[in-house]
Homo-oligomer: A and B are copies of this chain.
Amino acid sequence: MVLAIDIGGTQYRLAVIDRDGGVKRIQRAKTDAAAGASWMVDRIIEAGRKLTSSGTFTACGVGFGGPVAFDAQRIINSTHVKGWDGVELSSILEAALGLPTVVDNDANLGAFGEYTFGAGRACQHLVYYTISTGIGGGVIINGEIFRGANGQAGEMGHVPILSGGPICACGNRGCLEALCSGPSIGRRAIEALDSGGKSPQLRAILRHTGVVTAKDVMTMARKGDALATKLVEATAEYLSMGIATTVNTFAPERVVIGGGVARAGRILFDPLRRATQDRVMPVHRRSVRIVRAARGDRSVLLGAAALAIGHA
């Protein structure tokens, strides 16, 4: 057994996972942005001790929702919760839980989880996108997580797509994340309504809830709403530019897409596959497949487990 931990911006989860990727137990709790990192580490240690008190555990793997200096096994920072800068999380957990521990960026581990136990089995090269509050990315090359020179490779959410486009959380303009993350899709819907776009139903949602979510847009597109369909098609166009970029440069066998927005299913994947086929080089058209993540919101936990198993 290994202990897998997924530390996100709004919640953290701990899971007991066996060598075949079987999830035996899973528990979750909300993060407390105000209480900060050290409060959270204490909660994680407490929960981890309980979960590992019976049974034989060989290792612990942690996916962290922010940049990680992998070689130094140190958190770089978190944009969601204070106090994470420079925390040597694996040393702390090793000392507290008595298990060899490895920490990596959550999107890297999502890629590795899908590679080992999900939609990337039987692949050696894959590119993984997770599209939710932000857009994260991970790249598997020859069966290993690709980290680049400084450990920060695979940031596919921050590929520039639209020169002069909307400001991104990273500080730049027109990144894929600033156009196609869940909140960005909702923001584009509100902008379309503000500039006179006609969709009585999306307008009613905005009036009643104060926001439009990506899920609202997908649901309305599925019902045939013209404005929502246009928004989904634009999303597919932008995403296809980002994906074609990684196909033409990484030449993967598969592109795996996870995260909340991937739950939209065919209403998004059909135009996305069409647009991507139009944009990749002819040599890739037959070979590359765009598939939905098979392990849903467990990809990161499974990747953390897989990395911990290899590390132990």
Does chain B have a CB within 8 A of A32? Answer: no
Q: Is the CB of B250 within 8 A of A159?
A: no
Question: If the complex has contacts A160-B245, A241-B163, A245-B159, are A148 and B252 also in contact, measured as CB distance less than 8 A?
Answer: yes
Interface stretch (choices A187-195, A210-218, A279-287): A279-287
Q: Which A124-169 residues have C-beta < 8 A from chain B?
A: 124-125, 137, 139, 141, 146-156, 158-160, 162-163
Closest CB pairs A-B (n = 8): A148-B251, A153-B251, A125-B149, A149-B253, A155-B248, A160-B241, A159-B245, A158-B248
Q: Is the CB of A124 within 8 A of B149?
A: yes
Q: Is the CB of B248 within 8 A of A159?
A: yes
Residues on the B chain within 8 Å of A278, using CB:
172
Question: What is the distance, in angstroms, from A301's C-beta to the closest C-beta of chain B?
Answer: 25
Question: If the complex has contacts A160-B245, A245-B160, are A147 and B251 also in contact, measured as CB distance less than 8 A?
Answer: yes
Q: Which residues of A contact B (CB under 8 A)?
A: 67, 76, 123-125, 137, 139, 141, 146-156, 158-160, 162-163, 170-172, 237, 241, 244-246, 248-253, 278-284, 287
User: In whole angstroms, what is the CA distance A250 to B250 when docked?
Assistant: 9
Question: What is the distance, in angstroms, from A181's C-beta to the closest C-beta of chain B?
Answer: 15
Which chain B residue has the least Cβ–Cβ distance from A160? B241
Question: If the complex has contacts A241-B163, A245-B160, A245-B245, are A251 and B149 also in contact, measured as CB distance less than 8 A?
Answer: yes
Residues on the B chain within 8 Å of A160, using CB:
241, 244-245, 279
Partner of A249, one of B150, B154, B281: B154
Question: What is the distance, in angstroms, from A72's C-beta to the closest C-beta of chain B?
Answer: 14
- Copies assembled: 2
User: In whole angstroms, what is the CA distance A151 to B283 when docked?
Assistant: 10
A-B contact pairs, 9 of them (CB 8 A): A123-B149, A124-B149, A125-B149, A137-B249, A147-B251, A149-B287, A153-B250, A154-B251, A160-B279
Question: What is the distance, in angstroms, from A32's C-beta to the closest C-beta of chain B?
Answer: 27
Residues on the B chain within 8 Å of A139, using CB:
249
Question: What is the distance, in angstroms, from A231's C-beta to the closest C-beta of chain B?
Answer: 15
Which chain B residue has the least Cβ–Cβ distance from A159? B245
Q: Is the CB of B151 within 8 A of A251?
A: yes
Residues on the B chain within 8 Å of A149, using CB:
123-125, 251-253, 287
Q: Is the CB of A246 within 8 A of B249?
A: yes
Q: Is the CB of B150 within 8 A of A284?
A: yes
Residues on the B chain within 8 Å of A284, using CB:
150, 152
A123-B149, A152-B284, A156-B249 given; 16 more Cβ-contact pairs under 8 Å: A67-B283, A137-B249, A139-B249, A148-B251, A150-B251, A152-B251, A152-B281, A153-B250, A153-B251, A154-B251, A160-B241, A160-B244, A160-B279, A172-B280, A245-B249, A246-B249
User: In whole angstroms, what is the CA distance A278 to B151 when docked?
Assistant: 20
User: In whole angstroms, what is the CA distance A154 to B284 when docked?
Assistant: 12
Q: Is the CB of A249 within 8 A of B153?
A: yes
